Amino acid sequence: MINLDALHVFLEVAKSRNLGAAAKNLNVTSSALSQRLSGLEAQIGRQLFVRKHAGMELSEFGKELHAICKMLEKNFIQINNWILEQLGAIRGTLRISSIVTHVAQIMPYFLRSFLKKYPEVTFNIESNISVVTEERILSRSADIGIITGGSKNSPLKHKLLMKRNDILAVCTPEYFSTLDAWNTIDEKMRHSMILWHNAPTSRTSQDIRKMLKISGKHNLGTINLPDMMACKEHAMRGLGIAFVAKPVIYKELKKGDLIAIPGMSVRGSCSMVYRNEKYESPLQKVFRDEYSAFCKKIEENEAESLMDID
């Protein structure tokens, strides 16, 4: 009978399409992984991959098996988490470093249900820009990080949380009515209308500067604030234009308290990062799986049921 570990190996090789990369993710040697894969093929009696110079490609049978395994993978995760929960293994403290969007707006709704399920869990959560978060994961000062975009830090593993984490330029309807001549306003005046947070090295800040075609040496805004949430609060008071992640202003946009300025958005994504370790606590694994599923629901247009809470 094929065990779950063998199927996990199969899925990882199919994802990486490279034995070396898959072995690194699984914390085994390439030769050991090759033997396990050959053993699986021998057990099944069919070839799962076609070895090519460009990498590993699924055979026709492998493609069919892969499709079935992907459908079952979510059920395996749920079963595993249920068993851990019944055994009382989900306990301890989890240290999280995250971009402010998740700390302020998304995570609180998730933690409310998570802590009901796992009352013996505690969290230490801090808000940091992506670069700092990666440093904290690498230095073992945090267990899980949430960053803008993906991680290029090879010692870290990353998992895409949201493909669309758009940054919108927003202001009150009253303030928007004063922007009729936006295209005729000189660059210095435009800058003075922007509420800016003091994180010029953050990935979001860099993306906004590119969109506005502003070099890094120029300062933006008359009012400089500590973070994105502070920018949103000042925009709500009609003090200027704030660049804010869409999940942070979901309710304000729906109620009409803020409006998005057309043509001034920045597309982005966000990911979860963690250390590439063979052994991890059940708490870390359960949090990763459940928070990923929560973020996926938000992306699948279920935001109203998850976040539109008075």
Q: pLDDT tens digits for 117-134?
A: 888 899 999 988 888 899
125 membership: H or E segment, kind and range = strand 121-127
User: Which amino acid would we find at residue 127?
Assistant: S
Question: How far out from the chain centre does Cα 46 lie?
Answer: 37
- Of residues 57, 38, 39, 59, the one with CA closest to residue 48: 59
CA dihedral sign, ordered 79, 80, 83, 84: negative
Looking at residue 309, its pLDDT comes to 41
pTM tops 0.85, yes or no: no
Looking at residue 40, its pLDDT comes to 86
Per-residue CA distances from 161 to 131, 203, 291 (Å): 17, 17, 8
The answer to whether 281 and 271 have CB atoms below 8 angstroms apart is no
Q: Any idea how long the chain is?
A: 310
Give the chain's mean pLDDT: 79
CA–CA gap between residue 285 and residue 83 (Å, rounded): 13
Looking at residue 7, its pLDDT comes to 77
CA–CA gap between residue 49 and residue 42 (Å, rounded): 12
Please give the backbone phi and psi of residue 298, each rounded to the nearest 5 degrees, phi first: -60, -40
Residue 185 three-state SS:
coil
Residue 36's contacts (CB-CB under 8 Å, 6 or more residues apart) are 6, 9, 28
CA–CA gap between residue 10 and residue 226 (Å, rounded): 46
Residue 21's contacts (CB-CB under 8 Å, 6 or more residues apart) are none
Q: Name the token pair of 293.
A: 């599923």
Residue 293 three-state SS:
helix
- Of residues 28, 47, 33, 40, the one with CA closest to residue 4: 40
Looking at residue 277, its pLDDT comes to 65
Spell out the domains of the chain, with CATH numbers in brackets: 4-84 (1.10.10.10), 92-164+269-307 (3.40.190.10), 167-260 (3.40.190.10)
User: Which amino acid would we find at residue 71?
Assistant: M
Q: Point out the residues of the chain with pLDDT beneath 70.
A: 1-4, 27, 74, 77-78, 80-88, 153-154, 164-165, 180-192, 195-205, 209, 211-223, 277-279, 301-310
Looking at residue 287, its pLDDT comes to 93
- Of residues 273, 278, 195, the one with CA closest to residue 232: 195
For the chain, give the percent of residues with pLDDT over 70: 75
- The 10 Å CB-count burial string (b at 16+, else e) for 73-85 is eeeebeeebeebe
